Structure formats: structure tokens, C-alpha cells
Chain A
Amino acid sequence: MLRAFEFVGEITLLSWSALKEFFIGRQDWGLIVEQLSKGGVDSWSITLLTAIFTGMVMAAQFSIGLEPFGASIYTSKLVSLGIVRELGPVLTALLVGGRVGAGFTAELGSMAVTEQIDAIRCLGANPVRKLVMPRVVAMTLIMPLLTVLADLVGCFGGGLVSMLQVDLTAQYVARQMLETIGPEDLLHGLMKSVFFGYWIAIIACWKGMNIRGGAESVGIATTETVVYISVGILVSDFVLTQLFLSIYG
């Protein structure tokens, strides 16, 4: 229990420090752009691959499941709603979280065990400003963009399978999807992805900065990061979904 309070306290303090560093003084945008590239742009292919197959498999399953009720023509409706509200943001976050989060922890952890983080302090700089803030800002910005990409590609994959398996036309699928997805659905998914981006970066940085010991500690912390990120995403997804549903249904 005490450990849980410590965890919440440390994450809150680190988040607050990163936020302060973002608003104080002149920003080195180069650091943020570097992390946008490393954390986000390099993740587009994995996002695309996951989203298209998720959309396709959902459509394949729904078309079969809805057939006995004569409702398979609604396949593309269900697929698009599921992807935009839930699977787009969540699966993207889980995959990017595993890939990028592990990378951040390993990088910062290696810096910590080779005293590079201490060196940053000694040379007059602030490690939170140099290492944590750019990653948190970059991931918070890039996750909604990756989610939009996942939404588009996932809907495309789902639509394609709907057309092939249920024998629907492209126009019908597109119209159904556009009629189904409202701005609030898109916002629902994007707001979640903003939180997931922040969560991935802050957990990965917190774990990395606090590594003590050697290579083994880096390995353990990297594994723990992926677990913390994944569990956090799944739990917060439920909480955020309930919150958004209570706000606008």
C-alpha cells in the first residue's frame, strides 16, 4: 500500500516537474522534434499493420456473428465505432507503449547506470528538462496523430472485408461509417490517446531515471515498464470510457 502511494507521489512530482520545464524559459524544440521522430514517426508502420488487420478481423467476426440475426449489413457500422472509440487508441497505445516505452527506459536506464544523468546535473543542466519533458511532450502530441492513422486504416480494413464477405458496396460502407461516427466518438478516442501518450512517456522515464545497478537492472526495469504501461492503459481505458460516457453518452 505504501509502495502504491510512493508510486503515485513520484509520478505526480515528475509530471509536475516536466510540466513546469515546458512552460519555463526558452524551449529547445530540437529535443522535442527528435523525440517526435523517435517515438512517434518511427511507430507509424507498426500502427498501420496492427490497425488494418484488427479492422479486417473484426469485420470478419461481426459479419459471421450478425448473420443469424440478418444484421450483417451493419458490420461496417460496428467495426468503425469499435475502432474509433476503443481499439484504435487502445491497440495503438499498447503497441507504441511496448515499443517506445521499453526504448525510453533502456536509454535513460543506461544513462543512469553510466552516470550520464548525474553528469547532466553537474554540468549545470536539468535532466527533467533535457530528458523527461521532451519525451512526455512528444508522446502526448504524437499519440493522437497515430490514433487517427489507426482509425483510418482500421476502418479501411474493416470496410474492405465487409464489402467482400457481406457483399456490400464501397459507397454503402463509407456512408454507414460516416453516419455512425460522430465528432464525439472521434474526440472520445483522441482524448484517451492523449492520456495514453503521457502515460507511456512518464512511466518509461520514471523507470529509466530511477535505475540503479547495472545491465540486469536495466533489463528488469524495461520489462516492468511494459507491464506498468500496458496495465495502466487497460485500466485507464475503462475509467476514461466511463467518464466520457457519463459526460456525453
Chain B
Amino acid sequence: MSETIISYRNVTKSFGSNRIYRDITLDIHKGETLCIIGGSGTGKSVMMKMLVGLLEPDAGDIEFFGQSIVGLKPHQWLDIRRRVAMLFQGGALFDSLTVGENIQYPMIEHKWGDKSKREKRVSEVLEMVGLGKIEDLYPAEISGGMKKRVALARAIAVEPEVLLYDEPTTGLDPISIRRINGLIRNLQERLNVTSMVVTHEMPSVFTIADRIAMLHDQHIAFVGTPEEAKAIKEPWLADFIIGGEGVLKEENG
């Protein structure tokens, strides 16, 4: 088994009186694509946000390359955020900046080369995500699928080691979904990045996942390969995987 680079250790998280997790433990290995599945409100995105310091666990620990990242001071996050990039659900591109400026943003913050080097890198990453010369367009001028790809280009611009995808294919048409899935696999193969993908789209999960983790009933109820997931007959997993087909069968007797 390859090196473990992210470890959630007995992590507990609540929002007010609403407990999301109770003592969850999960390891993520270098170079793998782990898909996190689960119903709405089970805290899939929260797991990612804790990894980039947008949220803090109430209890437990999270290790990144063997270093605890719980309770870090704001300036200590800079190095972690250089190594972990997050693709937000809606892309979270900055409306007031052009596509090119959006992609250059993390490069400027992380002092990644001079202007010409940055511009060259913008063209490179746009090409990697299958987009042409759109540097001068504003986010409002491009489609939803293109926004996600630009956001992905921005995320990989500073060559992170870990990529977090928060519902990367939600709301996209089938062709865009296939393209994004292809990009996720492609980036893993070409750059050997470790990926965590939160998604509801089971066909995407089976296309991109090396392993699946399912959040259910305030804990991680299943971790395993897609084949292992398919073999599980427990309704909480089987129903989720086959999109509620099992529930319908039950209801119809």
C-alpha cells in the first residue's frame, strides 16, 4: 500500500446542536482518487473544508503528511494551501477578474514566477483542461462547464499534491460530466495527484474512484474499492449506489 498522506483521526464535528460526525477515522493514500459519497447533510464537503482550514473539527485530529493541521495559525496554513487545492462546487471564480487573472491569482499569492512565466503557465493549464484562448473573458461570459474547467485550471496552476473536488459534475450536461471525469483521471495519471472527490453522481464515482468512502449515520460506514461497494447488500449503501432503485422495489413489494 502506498504512503498515507491524509489521516482523519477520531474527528467529531457539530454545527450548533446538529452533530455531523462522531469519531470518524479515514486514511487517504498518495496518488489515489477517493470518492466520498453520502446523503445530503452528512458532511462530505465539511471533510474537505476541514482539510484546508475553512472549518475546524470539534475533536480529534487531522494529519497532512504526518503533521497535525488542527489549530494551526493563519500564517501556518500558507504552506498547506500551496500543497492542497480545492475545486468549489460552483467554481468560485472571482467575477471581477478575467479567466487569466483568476488562474494567476494563486501563482501571485504563492510567488510562483514572474509575469511572463505566469502567463505561460495560464496557457498551459488552460490547454490541460481542454480550453483554448479564453484568458481575457470574464467568468460571466463562459458556460457552467467551462467555469468548472477554469476553476480546475486555477486549482492545478501551482501544481498541488492534493486536489479536493466538491461536487465537480453537479448541474452539468452529460458531455461536460464525461469531460470533467476524464480530466480528474487524466490529472491523477499525468501529475500523480491525490484526489478527494465529493459527489452524488454514482456513474462518475465508478469512473474515477480508486476507493469509495460512504458517510452514513454520523460515521464512515464503508471504505473500499468500487467492486467491494457493489458487492455490499446493506440497503443504506446498495440503495445509494443504484440510485434508490432498491427503495422503489421494496415499496412496490
Interface of A with B (CB < 8 Å)?
Answer: 110-111, 114-116, 118-119, 121-126
| Interface residue from B77, B82, B94, B110 paired with A119 (Cβ < 8 Å) | B94
Q: How far is the CA of A1 from the CA of B84 in the complex (A)?
A: 41
Residues of B within 8 A of A110 (CB): 95
Question: If A116-B92, A116-B94, A119-B94 touch, does A124 touch B86 (CB 8 Å cutoff)?
Answer: no
Residues of A within 8 A of B86 (CB): 119, 122
Question: If A123-B105, A124-B110, A125-B109 touch, does A118 touch B74 (CB 8 Å cutoff)?
Answer: no
Chain B 102-133 interface residues, beta-carbon cutoff 8 Å to A: 105-106, 109-110
Asked if A121 contacts B94 (CB within 8 A), the reply is no
Chain B 192-229 interface residues, beta-carbon cutoff 8 Å to A: none
Residues of A within 8 A of B89 (CB): 115
Asked if B81 contacts A123 (CB within 8 A), the reply is yes
| Total CB contacts across the A-B interface at under 8 A | 48
Asked if A114 contacts B110 (CB within 8 A), the reply is no
Residues of A within 8 A of B109 (CB): 123-125
Residues of A within 8 A of B81 (CB): 121-124
Asked if A119 contacts B88 (CB within 8 A), the reply is yes
Interface of B with A (CB < 8 Å)?
Answer: 49, 52-54, 74, 77-78, 81-82, 84-86, 88-90, 92-95, 105-106, 109-110, 154
Q: How far is the CA of A125 from the CA of B54 in the complex (A)?
A: 13
Most buried by B among A114, A121, A124, A126: A124
Q: Which of chain A's residues has its CB closest to B166's CB? A: A115
Residues of A within 8 A of B82 (CB): 124
Q: List 21 A-B contacts (CB under 8 A).
A: A110-B95, A111-B95, A114-B90, A115-B88, A115-B90, A115-B92, A116-B92, A116-B95, A118-B54, A119-B88, A119-B93, A119-B94, A121-B52, A122-B85, A122-B86, A123-B105, A123-B106, A123-B109, A123-B154, A124-B110, A125-B109
Question: If A115-B88, A115-B90 touch, does A122 touch B95 (CB 8 Å cutoff)?
Answer: no
Residues of B within 8 A of A119 (CB): 86, 88, 92-94
Q: Which of chain B's residues has its CB closest to A124's CB? A: B109
Asked if A121 contacts B53 (CB within 8 A), the reply is yes
Residues of A within 8 A of B106 (CB): 123-124
Q: Closest CB of chain B to A28's CB: distance in Å? A: 10
Q: How far is the CA of A75 from the CA of B232 in the complex (A)?
A: 89
Residues of B within 8 A of A121 (CB): 52-54, 77, 81
Q: Which of chain B's residues has its CB closest to A121's CB? A: B54
Q: Closest CB of chain B to A208's CB: distance in Å? A: 14
Residues of A within 8 A of B105 (CB): 123, 125
Residues of B within 8 A of A123 (CB): 81, 85, 105-106, 109, 154
Residues of B within 8 A of A111 (CB): 94-95
| Interface residue from A114, A124, A126 paired with B92 (Cβ < 8 Å) | A114
Q: How far is the CA of A123 from the CA of B82 in the complex (A)?
A: 7
Q: Closest CB of chain A to B167's CB: distance in Å? A: 11
17 further contact pairs, Cβ within 8 A, besides A123-B106, A126-B74: A111-B94, A114-B90, A115-B89, A115-B90, A116-B93, A116-B95, A118-B92, A119-B93, A119-B94, A121-B81, A122-B81, A123-B85, A123-B105, A123-B154, A124-B78, A124-B109, A125-B109
Q: Closest CB of chain A to B54's CB: distance in Å? A: 5
Residues of A within 8 A of B54 (CB): 118, 121-122
Residues of B within 8 A of A115 (CB): 88-90, 92
Q: Closest CB of chain B to A180's CB: distance in Å? A: 46
Q: Closest CB of chain B to A209's CB: distance in Å? A: 13
Residues of A within 8 A of B94 (CB): 111, 116, 119
Residues of A within 8 A of B154 (CB): 123
